[in-house]
Structure 1
Amino acid sequence: MSGSALTPRERAVLAAVERRQTNPEIAAELFISVRTVESHIASLRRKLAAESRAALVAAARARHEGSVPVPTDTLHGRDDDLSAVRALLERHGWVTIVGPGGVGKTRLGLETAHGDGERTPLVVELEHAAPDDVATRIARALGLEATPGDLQGAVSVALAARPHLLLLDNADRVGPATVAVVGALRMRVPSVRVLVTSRTPLGAPGEAVHTLRPLGAEGADSPACALLSDRLRAAGADAGDPVLVARIAQRLDGLPLALELAASVARHLPLAELDARLARDLATLDRASPAGRHRSLDTAFGWTWDLLSTQEQDVLRRLAALPRTFDMDLAAAVTGPGTTGVVLRLLDHSLIVPTRTHPGRFRLLAVMREFVHARTEASTIREVLELHAVAVTETARAFIRTARTDASASASHRSAVLCPEVNAALRWMIAAGHPDAMALAADLAVGVEQYGADIDSIDALTDAARDEGVLASATPQQLLAVGMALAFVDIDLVRSLADRAAAGAADDDGTRAAEQLAAWAAAYRGDVETALMHCAAAERLVGEHGGDWDRGAILQARGIALRAGATPDRAAALAAFTASMRAYARAGDLVHVNNVRYMMASVAAEHPDDRERAIGWAAQARAAAEAMQNPHETAHAQLVQAGLGLAGAGDLGDLVDAFRRLGDLRCLHRALMLRAAAAAQPRERIGHLSEALEIATNARDPARQIAAADALVRALAAASDRIGTLAALDRLGALAGAEHARAACPAELLADFAGRGAPA
């Protein structure tokens, strides 16, 4: 017969036998006769197939181990946490696992208890316990019957009978009572190990705390993706699209409960629809069972929300209204003075979590932010966003004052932290029509130029550069800063900014800024004559109304122009770049010194006789960029090295991904062209060239559009794709003229091409 059929009295007798009590001791404890005890023991031996009292003790231990309700599905990404908790238990004897709702604290506790081969596990659920009920629940788990005597004493005797691991799950609501009971038990039974799960540390003497974070969700091979894929398959849902799985896992911040809920919902919705719904809101994440606090995110988080004071709820609302991460200074700026202690308490409650990459910065999980937003007035959110924008603007302005002369790795790191905040603030300012939007855009542009771009910053700058309300108050100097940062993204946009700067120039300094920006726009369009004309005009004014930095930028534009066009003047371009480096060096801008060095390496690499100089300059540029920890300049140098075919340049696929992240369309085009040249399969080559053509089109860069279209015609012809080749020739003709297209047309297709309207 199964041991699950034991009566309550039989379970109590078995627990006493496990504690090595004699029959008279059991009779005294349970207020029954010795004969009754003997009857119960005989029944236990039959039910548990135990031939001796020792076998009954072993059966009792086995029942404890089997009573730990560990789920049978795979535990993903928690090996390090399991090891850490077990080490803390051995060292301290009491560990509290803390973390936000739904992060998997109970599961980790159960896995720890189940895997402890030296101690008898004892699981006590405290979610619905009252403060005076903690000891009673432990006694009940031990099989002790309630007695009018010293209950904690009886529990201590039971725990001392053999080594125990006591798991007290969900102790949040009875924290002080748990501290008192556990403290007393540990005084009486030093051998007992105690594991507690709670959303906040209990603050007891001798308590070690292990903070459980959400699963890593970066990349398709992350633990969060593995968990979501596993649960999707178990639910009978489609897990076949790794891109969608990865996007959902990242959108849900790797929170295990949210991933479980998503898998449950995916039984009814296609994964693409689920992803689209989650992008709008997380109300989709609900299920019929199990009932209780894990039925939905609302029930999971509401359990903790109800434990917060009114002040804590108000501070959390304001922090949830912040668009990104925050440090303590920013938290104080939006929550008011004297709230630092409240913020720290919210950290203890696991409602705020540290960021993975930037120490000292914090955030709300996306799912928690949405929960809190639903409980926040719209006016509060607007107020917080304005306070955020003002605080970020002041921080950015102070940072940019020294950006041109600070090439340190710490400045690069600070820029990486600050840029997302500036982007969010700038977008809010644009939407709100804030008068400081253009000033913030100009500061962001300087940061992008100095420390490296990213696609989010480029998008924010582009939004500002196309917004008439923002541009209405822009000075030529601000337009120059924004235009130079966007020069590798959209040449037509830069030219329009230059025209606006010229129209708004009210003095010689404004005229110089306008001429300088016009020179950059023309240089990158390959319009050599126009670029040199604007460079000359800007140089005439820079002596009186500029300085070494502006002189360096003008000379750099001259070098870019001289290397462009139908007949590049390499020697003159290198001379202009050399003079530009010297001017930037006098200004103290080592980042732009290195940027020009990269351009010199790129020019030299175009001629076989200059290969050695190209290799040397590229190596210098890369070493300097890596020392600065500047990802953009590092990628620039690697691009030259890849073009030279150097072994240490790095993988071309990684370079393509890097420039895509940076938002640098010009260098993305160059990397795709190199990747196409290195491709072994024609179809792969055609794919890279097609993307390069689209990138150049998006950047409105005619020279690069023509280069990609030329190469695409050759690749399609080599693949014997007649229709594709003719279509590519049509596009090339539209870009470069019919004569150019005719010259590129394979001989065997000339008749067909002429029949489509091209000159014979």
Structure 2
Amino acid sequence: MSNPRLTPRERAVLAAIERRMSNPEIASELFISVRTVESHVASLRRKLAAETRAELVAASIGLRETSVRVPDDAFVGRDAELDGLGDAVGTRHWVTVTGPGGVGKTRLALEFARTFAGVPVVVELEHAEPVDVVARISRSLDLESTTGVDALGAVATSLGTRPYLLVLDNVDRVGAAVGEVVARATAGAPDLRVLTTSRTPIGEAGEHVVALAPLPTDGAGSPAVAMFLERLGPGAVTEPPSEAEHEQAARICARLDGLPLAIELAASVARHLSLAELAERLERDFATLDRAAPGGRHRTLETAFEWSWDLLDADEQEVLRRLAALPRTFDMDLALAVTHPGADGTVVRLLDQSLIVAIGGSPRRFRLLEVLRDFVRARTDDELAREVLERHATFIEAIVVPFANRARLDDSLEAMHASEILCPEVNAAVRWARATRHPSALNLASSLGIGIEQYGSDIDSVRTLAAVAHDPELIADATPQQLLALGTALTFLDLDAVAELAERALEIAGDDRERLAALHLAGMAAAYLDHEAIALARLGDAEELAEALHDRWELAATRQMRGVALRRSSPELAMVDFAAAMHDYGRAGDAMHVNNARYMIALTSAESGIDLARAAELAAECVDYARASHNDHELAHAAMVQHLIGRIDAALELDELAHEFRRFGDARCWIRTLLMQAESASEAERRAILREALDLARAVHDERREAAILERLAVTG
């Protein structure tokens, strides 16, 4: 039966009947005659097809159940949250769902109310003032406002008559008034459940908070991608979506941090743009989404966040501006470094208001959702942003320089964890410092070089260092030791840059320490560029200096580089040098490089075919070390050796290896992996893989591998 049209007075009478009131009691409450009440009851029976008072009560409950209006589109990706909310409401009288604007708090509450076993009543309070709260709830319960009657008492009495679920949506502006209503109503209504939605907890006694996070974005099968694809209009993607479309959708959803409102807006834009074009635009900014206008309360990201922004006081807005200007995540110490002393209380309030989200870690780290960051940055002047980035670079420099100085002697899990946090922060600081010619640029860059060599590289950081290496103005001020740190990291990706840095280091080297660094770098560049004679001469001089200076680590490093220079012409001699390097690294206390030299013995053995059993044994030891130290780069090195000698139980599959070396920016090992993949591929796949390897070899100017790949392509036909 469709909902009948009832007059306001009929609704009030029906609500009173639901509360089991008699006709005289109704007449007294509504200040009307008993005869008028009887007339309304007769009309209600006729409209609701109810013959008895019990049927009127049932009809009233039914009307209230159908009053929960949910959107027509599918409810995607929130089954776990819906179950969790059910558990919370089942054991608590009052539950508040919190989360940032656009995260889906209202939708979750409505979906829960729609299936609630009792009687749901939904009251929207987004634009209410505190004095309006009781009146709005009264109207939703069909209670008539009468002069001289305790309106809150009437609401509390009414809510105690049935197993109600009172949903109060968007209570941010009226939290204190809501707290008063809930306290009064739940005191005398054991079956009442109250569900509120808010960006921040109200903070009253008895409130249980359920924080709602954005949808997970982990991969093409994530809930965020499922929602995005479901919201797309006809023809936006193929049916079913292709793998490429899934990947583009995943890229879009990751950029939007899984925020449901942003996903809705992006899906509406995809009616006009391809997924690839939409993804490219979103990488630049979110302006495209602000021109979208799907139905619903929030029509753009701007309006969703403006509401929260207006609730902040001046200090909260200022602190949020500064945190939004940071390049990445932050902990409380960094937050205080870029704001002001005592701002930790403000940061906590912003966390309470869901404008900052915690991302775990110890110490705990935080971030802004990218769409919110974009909104706040539009309200931040350039001078403030520059000040924040300078403070960030100075703060990070003070941490990373001593960290890099002790990195050679620390392969602990704590150090690895610290490097994982520091590396992207230092990377961002280097980019800013280079762009602004800040004096911290070289210290940051050389520390980053040591960190990614010692704990594992990543392509973005290596590219950042390559940009520094090709910046003549910066390099003109670098010391030979700084040039060595840069060059060592760049051997993964840019050997031409390493050679140029070596030439510069030799030009400016003064004392023995500087000469040792310059000779080490020059020998390294020559070794990796297959200039064996030059490499051996430079490294021989470096070895003499290291011995004279009693520098065990440099002695180990020069011997390891001599092994690199010899491994093609004299693999047996190369393995002797690698073994000597292992010994010297051990004396110097560098366990990671002990393992790296062990890997080089295994690699040389595998590539030359000398003592493959020993290669397998050493590779297994490398796997054990890498797993114990959580060093993914060393694990990939060991797994590559296992594939080279044909082990079927390699620590990583070939496809995984290719992905890992691409992620690290390790071009040499990436090429090796591609060549192994080509061996087992079909003819068409083989040519494509070899061409990828050829492009990579040319990009890093590896002439020897380029020639070898061209030869294999000629054989392939």
* TM-score, normalised with respect to structure 2: 0.96
Residues 195-248 of structure 1: per-residue CA shift (max 9 Å, x gap): 111011100111111111111223222222111111113696787623332222
Q: Which residue of 2 aligns with 1:602?
A: 603
Q: Which residue of 2 aligns with 1:627?
A: 628
Residues 393-452 of structure 1: per-residue CA shift (max 9 Å, x gap): 111112112211111112111101111110111011101112221121111011001110
Q: Is the 8 A contact 1:293 1:303 kept in 2?
A: no
Q: Residue 591 of structure 1 aligns to which amino acid in structure 2?
A: M
Give the whole-Å Cα distance in 1 for the aligned partners of 2:340 and 2:39: 70
Q: Residue 666 of structure 1 aligns to which amino acid in structure 2?
A: R
2:120 alignment partner, SS class: strand
Aligned pairs (5 A) from 1:142-161: 142-148=141-147, 149-161=149-161
Q: Residue 251 of structure 1 aligns to which amino acid in structure 2?
A: R
Q: Residue 185 of structure 2 aligns to which amino acid in structure 1?
A: L
Give the whole-Å Cα distance in 2 for the aligned partners of 1:526 and 1:193: 75
Q: Which residue of 1 aligns with 2:410?
A: 406
> In the TM superposition, what is the alpha-carbon distance from 1:133 to its structure 2 partner?
1.3
Residues 468-501 of structure 1: per-residue CA shift (max 9 Å, x gap): 1210111111111111111121111111111110
Question: Mean Cα displacement is larger for which, 418-427 or 106-115?
Answer: 106-115
Q: Decide whether aligned partners of structure 1 residues 236 and 480 sit closer, same or farther in structure 2, where only a CA change above 3 A counts.
A: closer
> In the TM superposition, what is the alpha-carbon distance from 1:329 to its structure 2 partner?
0.5
Q: Residue 661 of structure 1 aligns to which amino acid in structure 2?
A: R
Give the whole-Å Cα distance in 2 for the aligned partners of 1:701 and 1:293: 58
Give the whole-Å Cα distance in 2 for the aligned partners of 1:40 and 1:638: 82
Q: Which residue of 1 aligns with 2:506?
A: 502
Q: Which residue of 2 aligns with 1:362?
A: 366
> In the TM superposition, what is the alpha-carbon distance from 1:648 to its structure 2 partner?
2.6
Q: Which residue of 1 aligns with 2:357?
A: 353
Q: Which residue of 2 aligns with 1:82?
A: 82
Question: Mean Cα displacement is larger for which, 170-179 or 39-48?
Answer: 39-48
Q: Is the 8 A contact 1:490 1:701 kept in 2?
A: no
Q: Is the 8 A contact 2:357 2:366 kept in 1?
A: yes
Q: Is the 8 A contact 1:433 1:469 kept in 2?
A: no
> In the TM superposition, what is the alpha-carbon distance from 1:289 to its structure 2 partner?
4.7
Q: Residue 655 of structure 2 aligns to which amino acid in structure 1?
A: G
Q: Of 430, 448, 468, which residue of structure 1 is paired with 2:434?
A: 430
> In the TM superposition, what is the alpha-carbon distance from 1:371 to its structure 2 partner?
0.9
Q: Is the 8 A contact 2:121 2:140 kept in 1?
A: yes
2:40 matches 1:17: no
Q: Which residue of 2 aligns with 1:284?
A: 288
> In the TM superposition, what is the alpha-carbon distance from 1:136 to its structure 2 partner?
1.4
2:311 alignment partner, SS class: coil
Give the whole-Å Cα distance in 2 for the aligned partners of 1:242 and 1:340: 41
Q: Residue 124 of structure 2 aligns to which amino acid in structure 1?
A: E
Q: Is the 8 A contact 1:430 1:437 kept in 2?
A: yes
Q: Which residue of 2 aligns with 1:714?
A: 715
Q: Residue 621 of structure 1 aligns to which amino acid in structure 2?
A: C
2:659 matches 1:660: no
> In the TM superposition, what is the alpha-carbon distance from 1:254 to its structure 2 partner?
1.2
> In the TM superposition, what is the alpha-carbon distance from 1:607 to its structure 2 partner?
4.7
Where structure 1 has 5 or more consecutive residues not aligned to the other structure, the ranges are: 718-760
> In the TM superposition, what is the alpha-carbon distance from 1:51 to its structure 2 partner?
4.0
Q: Which residue of 1 aligns with 2:191?
A: 191
> In the TM superposition, what is the alpha-carbon distance from 1:70 to its structure 2 partner?
1.7
Alignment RMSD (CA, Å): 1.9
Q: Which residue of 2 aligns with 1:672?
A: 674
Give the whole-Å Cα distance in 2 for the aligned partners of 1:88 and 1:661: 42
Q: Decide whether aligned partners of structure 1 residues 222 and 291 sit closer, same or farther in structure 2, where only a CA change above 3 A counts.
A: closer
Q: Is the 8 A contact 1:445 1:461 kept in 2?
A: yes
Q: Is the 8 A contact 2:394 2:440 kept in 1?
A: no
Give the whole-Å Cα distance in 2 for the aligned partners of 1:555 and 1:666: 20
Aligned pairs (5 A) from 1:14-53: 14-53=14-53
1:355 alignment partner, SS class: strand
Give the whole-Å Cα distance in 2 for the aligned partners of 1:706 and 1:93: 74
Q: Decide whether aligned partners of structure 1 residues 288 and 600 sit closer, same or farther in structure 2, where only a CA change above 3 A counts.
A: closer
> In the TM superposition, what is the alpha-carbon distance from 1:266 to its structure 2 partner?
2.3
Q: Is the 8 A contact 1:3 1:47 kept in 2?
A: no
Q: Which residue of 1 aligns with 2:547?
A: 543
2:312 alignment partner, SS class: coil
Q: How many correspondences in the alignment?
A: 711
Q: Decide whether aligned partners of structure 1 residues 684 and 51 sit closer, same or farther in structure 2, where only a CA change above 3 A counts.
A: farther
> In the TM superposition, what is the alpha-carbon distance from 1:546 to its structure 2 partner?
5.6
Give the whole-Å Cα distance in 2 for the aligned partners of 1:411 and 1:473: 30
Give the whole-Å Cα distance in 2 for the aligned partners of 1:655 and 1:105: 41
Residues 594-642 of structure 1: per-residue CA shift (max 9 Å, x gap): 1111111112223555221111111110111111011111111111112
Aligned pairs (5 A) from 1:290-689: 294-355=298-359, 360-545=364-549, 547-564=551-568, 568-608=569-609, 610-649=611-650, 650-679=652-681, 681-689=682-690
1:597 alignment partner, SS class: helix
Q: Which consecutive segments of 4 or more residues in structure 1 shift more than 4 A?
A: 234-240, 287-293, 356-359
Give the whole-Å Cα distance in 2 for the aligned partners of 1:546 and 1:317: 51
Q: Which residue of 2 aligns with 1:258?
A: 262
Q: Decide whether aligned partners of structure 1 residues 700 and 289 sit closer, same or farther in structure 2, where only a CA change above 3 A counts.
A: closer
Q: Which residue of 2 aligns with 1:139?
A: 138
2:246 matches 1:245: no
Q: Residue 659 of structure 2 aligns to which amino acid in structure 1?
A: D
Give the whole-Å Cα distance in 1 for the aligned partners of 2:290 and 2:275: 16
Q: Which residue of 2 aligns with 1:725?
A: none
Q: Which residue of 2 aligns with 1:126?
A: 125
**Sequence identity (%):** 53
2:216 alignment partner, SS class: coil
Give the whole-Å Cα distance in 1 for the aligned partners of 2:6 and 2:663: 64
Where structure 2 has 5 or more consecutive residues not aligned to the other structure, the ranges are: none
1:191 alignment partner, SS class: coil
Give the whole-Å Cα distance in 1 for the aligned partners of 2:711 and 2:361: 44
2:411 alignment partner, SS class: coil
* TM-score, normalised with respect to structure 1: 0.90
2:197 alignment partner, SS class: strand
Give the whole-Å Cα distance in 2 for the aligned partners of 1:374 and 1:610: 63
Q: Decide whether aligned partners of structure 1 residues 68 and 356 sit closer, same or farther in structure 2, where only a CA change above 3 A counts.
A: farther
